[in-house]
């Protein structure tokens, strides 16, 4: 694939992500923060996000499986997850987290479990997409091109 089509694909892919609401403006802002002095900023942050989220999701699954659910703890985790997803612009994850927190407040275990499933789905989705994106970036960079900017 030549560089031009790669770049076009990259743009299409990114705009599709934004359009579908998987990512929001925050992600583009992140991209803007990346410059020569900080070339791997987005990758770095997103990797951090993945690590953090995976840890949190595991924690959440364990907490919610218990007989007596410690909703405070659940809420703290979800808050954390919400914060980091908002920071990287994973909008859908964030949205589900918001619903999740409401269920926590209501101490609705059913709802929480349901939300946890959704969060996991969304997380996997965004992870998948972001990985694809990074792969594209890598390819573009390997082909000697520059990453097209979205703003």
Partner 1 sequence: MVCCLGHSEVPMNWFIDAQIMEQKTVYLSDKCNLWLRWSKKFSLRGWKNHLCNHYFGSKKVGETLWRRLLFLWVAGWFLFSIWIFWFMNSQAVEKRREMLASMCDERARMLQDQFNVSMNHLQALAILISTFHHSKEPSAIDQITFARYAERTAFERPLTSGVAYAIKVLHSERDQFEKQQGWRIKKMDSTEQPPAREEDANPDNQEISPVQEEYAPVIFAQDNYKHVISVDLLTGKEDRENILIARESGKGVLTAPFPLLKSKRLGVILTYAVYKSGLPSNATPAQRIEAAIGYLGGIFDVEALVDKLLHQLACKHSIMVNVYDTTDPDKPISMYGSNVTGTSIFHISTLHFGDPVRRHEMHCRFTQKSPLPWLAITTSIGTLVIALLVGYIFHATVSRIAKVEDDYRQMMELKKRAEAADIAKSQFLATVSHEIRTPMNGVLGMLQMLMDTDLDITQEDYVRTAQASGKALVSLINEVLDQAKIESGKLELEAVPFDLRAVLDDILSLFYGKAQEKGLELAVYVSDQVPEILIGDHGRIRQIITNLIGNSIKFTERGHIYLTVHLNDEVMSSLDVETEAHSTNTLSGFPVADKRHSWESFRIFKEEHPASDPSLLSTSSDLINLVISVEDTGVGIPLEAQSRVFTPFMQVGPSIARIHGGTGIGLSISKCLVGLMKGEIGFVSEPQIGSTFTFTVILTRQCTNSNEFKSSEFHGMTALVVDHRPARAKVTKYHLHRLGINPILEIDPNQVLTRLTSRTVTTNMVLVENETWSKNTSIWPFIINKLKADQLDIPKLLLLANPTSSVKNNSGSMEYISTIITKPLRASMLQVSLRRALGCGDSEHSRNGRIPQLSLRSLLHEKQILVVDDNIVNLRVAAGALKKYGAEVTCADSGKKAINLLKPPHKFDACFMDIQMPEMDGFQATKRIREMEAEINNQIKSGEVPFEAVGNILHWHVPILAMTADVIQATHEECLRCGMDGYVSKPFEGEQLYREVTRFFKTATKKNQ
Which chain residues interact with partner 1 by CB under 8 A? 19, 26, 29-30, 32-35, 37-38, 41, 44-45, 48-49, 52, 76, 79-80, 82-84, 86-89
- Smallest gap from residue 149 Cβ to partner 1 (A): 15
Which residue's CB is nearer to partner 1, number 79 or number 120? 79
Distance of CA 31 to the CA centre of its chain: 14
Q: How far is the CB of 124 from partner 1 (least distance, A)?
A: 17
Helices (H) and strands (E) in the chain, counts: 6, 0
Q: Where are the alpha helices (DSSP H) in 66-90?
A: 71-88
Please tell me the distance from the alpha carbon of residue 85 to that of residue 45, in angstroms, as a whole number. 11
Residue (5 or 19) nearer to partner 1, CB: 19
Radius of gyration from C-alpha coordinates of the chain: 17
CB closer to partner 1, 64 vs 89: 89
Q: In this complex, which beta carbon is closest to partner 1, that of residue 76 or of residue 125?
A: 76
Nearer to partner 1, 38 or 66 (CB): 38
Cβ 59 to partner 1, closest distance in Å? 13
CB of 3 to partner 1, least distance (A): 26
Residue 117's alpha-carbon distances to 47, 112, 121, 135, 136, in angstroms, are 22, 9, 6, 27, 29
24, 18 contact by CB (below 8 A): yes
Shortest separation between residue 118's beta carbon and partner 1, angstroms? 20
Contacts of 93 (CB under 8 A, 6+ apart): 53, 81, 82, 85, 119, 122, 123, 126
């Amino acid at each position: 694939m030549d560089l031009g089509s790669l770049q076009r694909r990259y743009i299409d892919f990114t705009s599709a992500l934004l359009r579908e609401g998987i990512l929001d403006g925050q992600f583009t802002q992140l991209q803007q923060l990346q410059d020569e002095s900080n070339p791997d900023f987005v990758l770095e942050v997103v990797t951090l996000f993945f690590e953090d989220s995976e840890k949190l999701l595991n924690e959440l699954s364990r907490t919610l499986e218990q007989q007596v659910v410690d909703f405070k703890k659940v809420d703290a985790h979800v808050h954390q997850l919400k914060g980091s997803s908002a920071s990287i612009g994973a909008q859908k994850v964030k949205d589900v987290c918001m619903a999740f927190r409401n269920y926590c407040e209501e101490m609705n275990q059913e709802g929480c479990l349901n939300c946890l499933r959704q969060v996991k789905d969304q997380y996997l989705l965004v992870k998948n997409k972001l990985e694809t994106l990074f792969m594209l970036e890598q390819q573009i960079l390997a082909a000697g091109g520059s990453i097209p900017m979205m703003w």
